[in-house]
Amino acid sequence: MRKLALVLALAACGDKKANDTPAPGPESPKVAREQPPLPSDPTPDDPRPDEDTPTPTEAAPADADAQTEAPAAGGGTCEVTATAGREFKQTSGGGPSAANVMQWHTPEMRKKMGYQAEGFVLNCNGQHIKLSIVSDRKAAIPYGSKDYQVGQSNSHIRVMGTMGNVAISKASGMLAVDKFDDKRLEGRLTLYINGTSPPTDMFKLVADFNFTCSGLSGCK
């Protein structure tokens, strides 16, 4: 059933244009679509964040007919490609709501946000796919290039989000950080989502991100 739900969700993302075309008749006022809340999946070792802890932030709604959404000006971009029977691409912008990097803040601000170590909260949020990449608040993610496992019991990186109205869960993969310093954070997340119990029933999601540091105390 979950496999079918993921296929239908991805198909719905690409078919919005056809489904949203109004029938001929008097023009009716547009109603803003309610976006599904971004799920959290706390564990005993990673409790639900409090009000001061950075959490995934929803992006402003974009045109529902756009299959590739225009990124915001400045701050970099994040391009997400999801494959589940068909391919769907989405591009979102950067800025403080997309890249919340602890090293780019003062130690005082980092502590206020609930981080005891270096790390980040990255949000690739478009209209159809909402994805957050969150580092462990107690495990340091230092500057430099490195690969991090996702979805393992000892992983320092966790991923959460939605694709359409289906939560991204039972996901595993790799976060490859290619460049991370006081100017930029670049990398790729490759995620495999297990649709049903057999391990061969996988759906792939790739996020290529390139975020720049600007206007913060830790930026050079």
Q: Are 52 and 112 in contact (CB under 8 A)?
A: yes
Q: Are 161 and 129 in contact (CB under 8 A)?
A: yes
Q: Does residue 99 sit within a domain? A: yes
Q: How confident is the model at residue 70 (pLDDT cuts 50, 70, 90)?
A: very low
Q: What pLDDT, on a 0 to 100 scale, did the predictor assign at position 3?
A: 52
Rounded-to-integer distance, Cα 182 and Cα 220, Å = 6
Q: Does residue 94 sit within a domain? A: yes
Stronger pLDDT, 209 or 170, i.e. the higher one: 209
Q: What pLDDT, on a 0 to 100 scale, did the predictor assign at position 14?
A: 59
Among residues of the chain, what percentage have pLDDT more than 90?
Answer: 36
Q: What pLDDT, on a 0 to 100 scale, did the predictor assign at position 196?
A: 44
How confident is the model over 206-217, as pLDDT tens digits?
A: 999 999 998 888
Q: Does residue 137 sit within a domain? A: yes
Q: Does residue 150 sit within a domain? A: yes
Boundaries of domain holding 127 = 2-16+54-212
Residue 6 corresponds to which tokens in the numbers above?
């993921």
Which range, 25-39, 63-77, 165-179, 191-205, has the best average confidence (pLDDT)? 165-179
Rounded-to-integer distance, Cα 155 and Cα 174, Å = 10
Q: Does residue 136 sit within a domain? A: yes
Q: What is the mean pLDDT of the chain?
A: 73
Q: How confident is the model at residue 84 (pLDDT cuts 50, 70, 90)?
A: confident
Q: Does residue 44 sit within a domain? A: no
Q: What pLDDT, on a 0 to 100 scale, did the predictor assign at position 11?
A: 56
**Is the predicted pLDDT of residue 148 greater than 60, yes or no?**
yes
Which residues, listed in sequence order, are joined to residue 185 by a DSSP beta bridge? 180, 211
Q: Does residue 24 sit within a domain? A: no
Q: Does residue 121 sit within a domain? A: yes
Which residues, listed in sequence order, are joined to residue 83 by a DSSP beta bridge? 87, 204
**Is the predicted pLDDT of residue 31 greater than 50, yes or no?**
no
Q: What pLDDT, on a 0 to 100 scale, did the predictor assign at position 195?
A: 57
Q: How confident is the model at residue 163 (pLDDT cuts 50, 70, 90)?
A: confident
Rounded-to-integer distance, Cα 73 and Cα 13, Å = 24
Number of domains forming the structure of the chain: 1
